[in-house]
Amino acid sequence: MIKLLNSKINSITSAAIIVAAASVASRLLGIFRDRILAGEFGAGDVLDIYYAAFRVPDLVFNLLVLGALSAGFIPIFTGLCERKTIFKFLWRGKEKCSPEAWYVANSIVNLLGIALIVLSGVLMIFTPWLMKLITPGFEGEKLAMTVAMTRVMFLSPVFLGLSSVMGGVLQSFKRFFVYSLAPIMYNIGIIIGILYFVPVWGVYGLAYGVVFGALLHFLIQVPAAFHLGYRWQPIMSLRNKNVRDIMIMMVPRTLSLAVGQINLVIITIIASTLAVGSLAIFNLANNLQSFPIGIFGISFAVAAFPTLSSLVDSQQALIKNFSKVLRQIIFFILPATVFILTLRAQIIRIILGSGHFGWEDTILTMDTLTFFSLSLFAQATIPLLVRIFYVRKNSKTPFVVGLISAAANVFLSFWLAQKMGVAGLALAFSIASIINFALLWLILKVELGDLDEVAILYSTLKISLASVGAGLAVQAMKLIIGNSSIINMHKFWGVFTQAFIAGIFGLLIFILICWVLRSEELYNFVRSVRVKSKREKLETEDRGEARGI
């Protein structure tokens, strides 16, 4: 178990598979969590209070910690970390960082911890007034319970913030297995709160469950970081150049996240002026289309970041690894786009089609999901492009580009929503995402020159042909099953059977065509899944090249 928890993963594809698998597990636990919440309390005051109390603490974490810390911490920590092998009694091949690297890690832990404690404390004091602004419809006991639960949940950003630093250390050392367990433990903690804390503390047990989940998120990563050599020390220094560099790089990233939040608020305002249910349909379709982005785009970007950070001084190796990771993302996201487009009706009916969610709602969600799908390739590759800028210690450019694309999104949303309704919001979002992708690519092209476009285009052509073939196969199988007298397409299991068989058939056709076309990305994926020992042989003297896919 110790060996498994502390295993190093040099292959980006393998690391991405682990992160993606953990992401799927965490999302499934999230569905299970929501199912328990709905079953225990129903859609009433309790869940209103729970989600309202969640809002501000979650916002604090998202703006101050999530992504902002890793944008600066991982590249600088990786650069400071001197890898050398030492032999001790119990551990062989243990890696050790330079004292300066651990000094920086401790400074960030202490500075971030104090900042979050102070901020959470201040917000706890002003929670009654804050919640009146955020939940103007809550009054009396309902508002009082929301205030009390919010105050409890303000402890969660502290644990999650410290956990993010530990996660940055683990990513830098390529310990993706433990890093990937953290969000799973977070959901497990919340589920424990629902099942075991609520009977003891009543509704407030939900808030304690969130805090317990955040604590588990932190504790699961501490032993692995300790094994790598981390030891907490009461030190911090804003005068240290590396600490200042991390703080400076965090500011634009935080502003980028804030831009996204404001952009979402504006979209919400626009959607609220449209037909009833438009906001719900937009969010439901957005959740569906974001699933493959999280599984493929973000997983590969997270897995590639430490390797790319270590290659910052070798532009040729950096571009080579960037190209391989980008092509691997395309290998997954293009067929995912085709499957969503061809099976969107089945997906929506299986996941959402119950109760009062009728056929008219399904059609509106289908149209919205269709326009979202047009930019899946851009949305999935933007996290990787952004991290290339972070590797080069440039977090300002992604912020400026994000600001431009957000402005385009707002303008297009106002215009297209009047003509197309909620589907226009999705189309505006897709156009803005493509603008974001194009600007980031062009700027990288100017800064780095050759981005291995020929190899990327060649692989994309192969994957596109395979995806089209898979789409045709799905459509054919859908017609065969739909016209069959054996399967009742008016029942849940009939729709599920049609989607499952058609999807599996399309996937097999995709793999077959990729194999016939000798897709390098297919072979990379198969090698990463089949034999772990082959991945470990990537460790050669030329470490820069060896840390690729």
Query: What single-letter amino acid sits at 396?
Result: K
Q: How many domains does the chain have?
A: 2
223 plus 281 within the same structural domain = no
Does the residue 421 lie in any domain?
yes
220 plus 262 within the same structural domain = no
Does the residue 330 lie in any domain?
yes
- Residue 90, judged by CB atoms within 10 A of its CB (0-12, 13-18, 19+), counts as exposed
Does the residue 30 lie in any domain?
no
226 plus 172 within the same structural domain = yes
210 plus 345 within the same structural domain = no
Does the residue 3 lie in any domain?
no
d(CA 239, CA 442): 36
* Whether the Cβ atoms of residue 169 and residue 76 lie closer than 8 Å to each other: no
302 plus 200 within the same structural domain = no
449 plus 320 within the same structural domain = yes
DSSP class of residue 37?
Answer: H
Does the residue 399 lie in any domain?
yes
For the chain, 549 residues long, give each residue's pLDDT as a single digit of tens.
555 555 565 555 566 566 667 777 776 776 667 556 645 664 346 756 776 777 778 777 766 666 556 567 777 777 777 544 343 333 344 456 677 778 888 888 888 888 889 988 998 999 898 877 777 666 788 788 888 998 999 998 889 888 888 887 887 777 777 777 888 888 899 899 989 998 888 888 989 999 999 999 999 888 888 887 778 888 777 778 888 887 777 776 677 667 766 676 577 567 656 765 565 677 668 877 887 887 787 777 877 777 777 776 777 888 888 888 888 888 989 999 999 999 888 887 777 665 555 677 778 888 889 999 998 999 888 888 888 887 877 778 888 888 898 889 989 988 998 888 888 989 999 999 999 999 999 998 888 888 878 888 988 899 999 999 999 999 999 888 877 777 777 777 888 888 899 899 999 999 999 898 888 878 877 777 665 444 443 333 332 222 222
* Whether the Cβ atoms of residue 230 and residue 77 lie closer than 8 Å to each other: no
Kindly report, residue by residue over 248-296, the tens digit of the pLDDT: 777 766 776 677 666 765 775 676 567 655 656 776 688 778 878 877 8
Helices within 173-239 (DSSP H only) = 176-192, 198-201, 204-219, 222-228
Q: The domain containing residue 431 runs over which residues?
A: 250-532
Does the residue 34 lie in any domain?
no
Task: Compute φ and ψ for 136, nearest 5 degrees.
Answer: -65, -20
Does the residue 546 lie in any domain?
no
Does the residue 157 lie in any domain?
yes
196 plus 255 within the same structural domain = no
Kindly report, residue by residue over 449-495, the tens digit of the pLDDT: 888 788 889 888 999 999 999 999 999 998 888 777 777 777 778 88
351 plus 447 within the same structural domain = yes
229 plus 259 within the same structural domain = no
